[in-house]
Structure 1
Amino acid sequence: MTTQTRPPAGLHEPRPGRATPGTPGRPDGDGDPTAPLALPAGGRGGRRAGRVAVLVALAILLTVAGAGVAGVSYLQGRLEAGIERLGDPFAAIPTRPENAPRTAVGDGAAAAGRAPVNILILGSDSRISAGDPSRWTAGAQRTDAIMLAQISGDRRSLTMMSIPRDSWVDVPGHGEAKINAAFSWGGPTLMIQTVEQLTGVRIDHFAVADFESFAVLTDELGGVELTLAQPLDAGGVTLEEGTHVLDGEQALAYARERYNVEGGDFGRVQRQQNWMRAIMRSIFDRELLTDPVRLMSTLEAVTRSLSLDDGLTVSKMRDLAIGARTLRPDSVRFITAPYVGTGRSPDGAQSIVLLDEPRLQEVSDAFAEDRVGEYLEEHPDAAPALGDHVD
């Protein structure tokens, strides 16, 4: 007899016939050729997994400070030089959602703060050939983190929704599969199309990152303060439970740990979000935005790790950041796409995440209609949210 992980309180049952629920456990990619490469603890791939959203969020939030730094054109030129460009991944998408904003960052209504901006953010094991579709090889590009970020139309809030990489979804042209397979099979265009089809939210911009300089970024901030609910013993890092200021290597070990975290990958998603929140708080608490020298060093560390679509220029990020200059860490919400648990693919070969489709549709509608903040306040149990306590 098979069993299923207990659904979060108040969530619906999965739609029958989609996949076979399996033994509770971690959606860890077994049997899936598109799953992330298995590397030993502390290996290069492990360090990269799942921190992309921090980088992109920082690139957007920090660029606002560039507006007050002398030599803005020089600053923008230096930052732009460090970004890998992906071209236009939207041009080849045959259909787009009709009920969501169409205005790009920095253009018209969005620049004036009248339309939300939706950015699909991925953390990838490899950005090689990301900007040259002719060199794309199925399976060569993998993503360990998928996040839909929305800056509200009034520029007063930022909502970031993580989509578990093993979520079982329909991938256009390929049938049902793990969502991270879309990036492996068809690159940014297919990934955008898959998320738009899943959510009905029109994506305005797309970003991919690796993590070579992420430890440097954390160290640029002088470390980040995190409270460990349990001892940490991973990647050569040993820390007792309690509150610590973690340096880059320690924070990487904290965020990549999966096997000793309650909930497996679900718990790791919350650790990634917790680290992101700690970085944002550190930026404001330590007045980084008022120190041009440290700011420039931090921004360069961020942008060196980014691949962006051609439309998301540093200039446009700056325009967006100016509009969102009152945004603070307490205005940022972190949630995970509603799910009911883990299971097995219909052929039994893969461990997968079963999304709560009715609840996900409600949350997605709120994104598309620029009311996700209000919706989450009115329905706090609609999606797993990052709380004060993180295991």
Structure 2
Amino acid sequence: MSSPRRHARTEARRSHRALAVVGVLVLLLAAGGFGAAWWFQHQLDSNIERLGDPFAEVENSPAPEEETEAVNLLVLGSDSRISAGDPSQWEAGAQRTDAIMLVHLPANRKSAQVVSIPRDSWVDIPGHGQAKINAAFSYGGPSLMIQTVQDLTGVRIDHFVVTDFESFTAMTDALDGVRIRVPEDIGDGKTVSFHKGVHMMSGEEALKYTRQRHGLVNGDFGRVQRQQNWMRAILAKVNNNRNDVGMMSDFFTTVSKSVAADDGFTIDRMRNLYMSARGLSTNDVDFMTAPYSGTGRSDDGQSIVVLDRERFDPLMKAIAKDEAGSYVEEHTDDLEVLPATVK
């Protein structure tokens, strides 16, 4: 069913959706530090849409984690966070998930790992047989998505977050742009869109940067790395401007209006996570794509991504055992880790 690694076909707007997920990560790790004022925390919390308790229907649901334990977040980029939050609006098959990220914050809070799972990954979905992993959200909402990821990875999910994508350009623009290094000219083969060098990109410019496919060795997998490079640039900009009250206020307000989370993931919980991880720098966050062996066709003709279980399973085991930091460091060459310079 698998074939040699080749370009995976995706819609251009997938970069639009995947990139909004970074806002969630930044909010979770940084909003607590800025939100020292009660009124601002309350404003952010009121902006966040609540999903109820999606873990109630998940088998072997995790007990509430202690503050000193590792924390695993499942972050989705969907085309409809509102319908995910209001069961009365749920329509089976109508919701799509275009970005799936497993975010691991270890107990020692000395690093963080962000693993992007391709939405077309062919997996077992409880009660539905084999299908693309994003179908779990369409079939059964947050609960089935959590169950599917837990069964696939063996990793306990502690909190669940969904975003929509209307304001991701505003997130970048609220930071007055982000700095991205371009190692070589980028264009469509005829026109150069970005010359070699360091660029301060607006939201629209960064979107154009991530959508450009020409010259990418791994096609859409290469585009994922550019998306992650953008995420890293946003994290860096936030880390360098935490004392800019106006900028941070605008940014976190924009992000919070794009987020839905389980009821247990309160703004107080986010603040506590921040306080325990406030020593993290951008270099301490490992972005990577779930190991894959290539693309292929399912028996019914769908274009799919085939996960490389020989590499995928040990990585997930390391996350489950809270040994991901050392594992990634020791196996960087075997993993799809975001390099310092992205083409």
**Same fold by TM-score, threshold 0.5 exceeded?**
yes
| Counterpart among 160, 171, 193 of residue 147 in structure 2 | 193
Pairwise CA RMSD of aligned residues?
Answer: 2.2
Alignment-derived partner of residue 27 in structure 1: 8
| Counterpart among 89, 113, 130 of residue 54 in structure 2 | 89
Displacement of 1:23 after TM fit?
6.9
Deviations 1:232-265 (A, max 9, x none): 459x993334321111111122224457633222
Give the gaps of 5 or more residues in structure 2.
Answer: none
Alignment-derived partner of residue 116 in structure 1: 70
| Counterpart among 283, 295, 302 of residue 248 in structure 2 | 295
Work out the CA distance in 1 between the residues paired with 2:332 and 2:79.
33
Deviations 1:137-160 (A, max 9, x none): 122111111110011101121110
1:342-361 counterparts in 2 under 5 A?
342-347=295-300, 349-361=301-313
Do residues 103 (structure 1) and 70 (structure 2) align?
Answer: no
Work out the CA distance in 2 between the residues paired with 1:273 and 1:159.
12
Do residues 50 (structure 1) and 3 (structure 2) align?
Answer: no
Alignment-derived partner of residue 160 in structure 2: 206
TM-score, scaled to structure 1: 0.82
| Counterpart among 155, 171, 175 of residue 109 in structure 2 | 155
Letter in 2 for 1:103: P
After superposition, the Cα gap between the structure-2 partners of 1:243 and 1:206, relative to the gap in structure 1 and judged at 3 Å, is same
**Runs of 4+ in structure 1 displaced over 6 angstroms?**
none
CA contact (8 A) 2:4 2:294 kept: no
Alignment-derived partner of residue 193 in structure 2: 238
Deviations 1:70-120 (A, max 9, x none): xx2201111012111111111011234xxxx7434xxxx32xxx2110000
Do residues 80 (structure 1) and 45 (structure 2) align?
Answer: yes
Count of matched residue pairs: 341
Alignment-derived partner of residue 285 in structure 2: 332
CA contact (8 A) 2:296 2:305 kept: yes
Give the gaps of 5 or more residues in structure 1.
Answer: 1-19, 30-37
Work out the CA distance in 2 between the residues paired with 1:46 and 1:160.
18
Work out the CA distance in 2 between the residues paired with 1:200 and 1:74.
39
Work out the CA distance in 1 between the residues paired with 2:93 and 2:7.
22
Q: Percent identity?
A: 49
1:107-186 counterparts in 2 under 5 A?
109-110=66-67, 114-186=68-140
Alignment-derived partner of residue 203 in structure 2: 248
CA contact (8 A) 2:5 2:293 kept: no
Work out the CA distance in 1 between the residues paired with 2:15 and 2:292.
26
Letter in 1 for 2:217: E
CA contact (8 A) 2:188 2:214 kept: no
Work out the CA distance in 2 between the residues paired with 1:220 and 1:52.
13
Letter in 2 for 1:361: D
CA contact (8 A) 1:46 1:256 kept: no
Letter in 1 for 2:186: P
After superposition, the Cα gap between the structure-2 partners of 1:266 and 1:219, relative to the gap in structure 1 and judged at 3 Å, is same
Alignment-derived partner of residue 307 in structure 1: 260
Higher helix share: 2
CA contact (8 A) 1:85 1:131 kept: yes
**Range moving further from structure 2, 223-232 or 269-278:** 223-232
Do residues 378 (structure 1) and 330 (structure 2) align?
Answer: yes
After superposition, the Cα gap between the structure-2 partners of 1:145 and 1:210, relative to the gap in structure 1 and judged at 3 Å, is same
Work out the CA distance in 2 between the residues paired with 1:258 and 1:102.
44
Letter in 2 for 1:95: N
After superposition, the Cα gap between the structure-2 partners of 1:232 and 1:116, relative to the gap in structure 1 and judged at 3 Å, is farther
TM-score, scaled to structure 2: 0.93
Work out the CA distance in 1 between the residues paired with 2:25 and 2:51.
18
Letter in 1 for 2:307: L
1:90 is paired with a residue whose SS is helix
